[in-house]
Amino acid sequence: MAPIYVMAIITFLAAGGLWLGLGALMAGRHRKWAWVVLLALPFSPLINQVVKRPIMLAVNESLDLQPGQSPPLIYWVLALLLAPITEEAIKLAPVLFPPLARWVKEKGTALWLGLFLGIGFGLSEVGYLAWSIAQAPQYSQYPWYYFTGFAQERLMVVAIHGVMTAVAVLGIARGWWRGWLGYLSAIGLHCLVNLGALLAQAKVIPVVLASLWTMGVFAGLLLLLAPLYKANRALDQPSETILFQRSAP
């Protein structure tokens, strides 16, 4: 077994235990929706192999870049947008079909459905990235504990995916046009998350600064949970208040 798989298993269990545990604790009576994590577990390999990989192969073939040649700006723009557009779409796919389409409209459910779906995708990504790393022979020489950077990043990104999807699902719960706004907001947040790594890949900033960027966005998105929780509580309120009830004569 490739050493990265050992770290991936540890990361999967740690991230799942931490973020699912905290999510279930915060969700209260809505913790029953934690099972939707399972729906998202195939999503990362599916979107990467079926959608993103063919698109990037076609782009690279059309650009016909020579070794050492810098890609044009359009390449970097596409690289920044491709993952947010496709990944945020597939994470939302379950809530567009019954019965989740009905459940997302239930009072107070939206935030937790989105959070758990995003966590599921983040956990799926742990496995897919570990598989991708295992395909590179140069990494097989390192013991599993050399991949602590992988574990640290994935611990943050699992939670990040949860918050981004929660933003989109909260929008869907408020109607179609707000659903589109929520989806676009999730794409924007996703671009913000990926920007540091993309700038490092383009050698605009050092890798250390890209790591700090991810940590900063992670902290900001955790703070975003507070207003999201408040918005979800507003959806959870009863539509009318009964001040008194006349007893039957």
Q: What is the DSSP letter of 16?
A: I
The pLDDT of residue 238: 52
Q: Is the pLDDT of residue 167 over 50?
A: yes
pTM of the model: 0.91
CA distances from 221 to 17, 162, 224 (A): 19, 10, 5
Distance separating alpha carbons of residues 67 and 21, to the nearest angstrom: 47
The pLDDT mean for the chain works out to: 91
Provide φ and ψ at 235, rounded to 5°: -70, -20
Q: Return all residues near 140 (Cβ < 8 A) that are at least 6 apart.
A: 2, 3, 134
What percent of the chain is predicted at pLDDT more than 70?
94
The pLDDT of residue 242: 43
Q: How confident is the model at residue 237 (pLDDT cuts 50, 70, 90)?
A: low
